[in-house]
Structure 1
Amino acid sequence: MRFQTVRDILDFVRGFHQRAAQLFSAAADEAQRDKARWMLEWLAQHERRFSEALATFEQSPANAPLLQEWLQYAPDLERLPLQLPRLPAQLSADDAAALALAFDDYLVRLYKAVLDTCESREICDLFRMLLDQERAEERSVARSLSQLQDF
């Protein structure tokens, strides 16, 4: 799939976060260990917040011109596969973190692909900010897992 506008990419990313939230929420419902359930619930909530923040950004009239910008060299998702770790049916807290980091890694690669080809400063600034947020998310997941291990 090739993107055409900034909105196309953000719609894809927002949907990605929504699907990740649903996956983590469903896995939390099935989790047998408290640590895993807490981690999965935290991840689901975190993904929902990202999705909601993107929706708010997209709905703001001030952002309409940027969202309509065309990307001449949009990333090709077929060349950017999602690489998931092998996971058991029942996820542990470590499994949940590994899955979250795989999702974050995918988005980091997507944002870098946009940054490698973006032509306008505004588009580059937006995707640089999103990239920074994903990298912060990776640190947050690692920190949360470390804190959870202390329980």
Structure 2
Amino acid sequence: MKIETFQDLIDWTRQLHVHLAECFRHCATQQEEARAKWLLEYLADHEARLEHTVARFEQQADPKALHTWVYDYLSHNPIAPHQACSAPYAEMSFDEICQEVFSLHDQATELYRYLAGRAEIPEARDLVDELLKLEEHEAMRLAQQANRARDL
């Protein structure tokens, strides 16, 4: 997806969460390790909720910010999860899944920090800051749940 405006960025974020939810759900059906299977099911539900949150976020965002161009995005490396879910998570351990998921969320927060520092108007900066807060909060929730599951 080509990201030219902040609206494109939000839509890309929403699509990323859709893709991850579908992939996690698909891989959970093939995962043999019980704890990893539970984690994938949890992650699928979590990413589906995030997708809905981001969609509502887009509906409520300032139109001025949404239509602002994102010039610097092209120089930032895009986040590339497994593009076609060929069951990579089904073959990973609990810890490997956690590492991959946290890496993806870290990349998203890094992207938002990068763009917030380059936003030309305050409305766009506020929009990216809100996306950043959402991703940071959700990554923290994921870490807490993963640690609880690890303790079981």
TM-score after normalising by structure 1: 0.83
1:80-99 aligned within 5 A? 80-82=77-79, 90-99=91-100
Aligned residues of 2:32 and 2:90 also touching (Cα < 8 A): no
1:83 shift after superposition: 7.0
Equivalence for 2:142: 141
Structure 1 residue runs without a partner (length 5+): none
- Are the equivalent residues in 1 in contact too, given 2:6–2:69 (CA < 8 A)? yes
Question: Does 2:74 align with 1:76?
Answer: yes
Report the CA distance shift for 1:8/1:82 in structure 2 as closer, same or farther (over 3 A).
closer
The within-5 A match list for 1:10-29 is 10-29=10-29
Pairs within 5 Å for 1:1-150? 3-60=3-60, 63-71=62-70, 73-76=71-74, 79-82=76-79, 90-150=91-151
1:143 Cα deviation (Å)? 1.3
Percent sequence identity is 29
Q: TM-score, normalised by structure 2?
A: 0.83
Stretches of 4+ aligned residues off by more than 4 angstroms: none
Change (3 A) 1:110 1:55: same
Stretch of structure 1 that moved more, 123-132 or 88-97? 88-97
Q: Is the 8 A contact 2:17 2:47 kept in 1?
A: yes
1:25-63: per-residue Cα shift (whole Å, max 9, x none)?
A: 111111112211111111111111111112123234x64
Structure 2 unaligned spans of 5+: 82-87
Match of 2:32, SS? coil
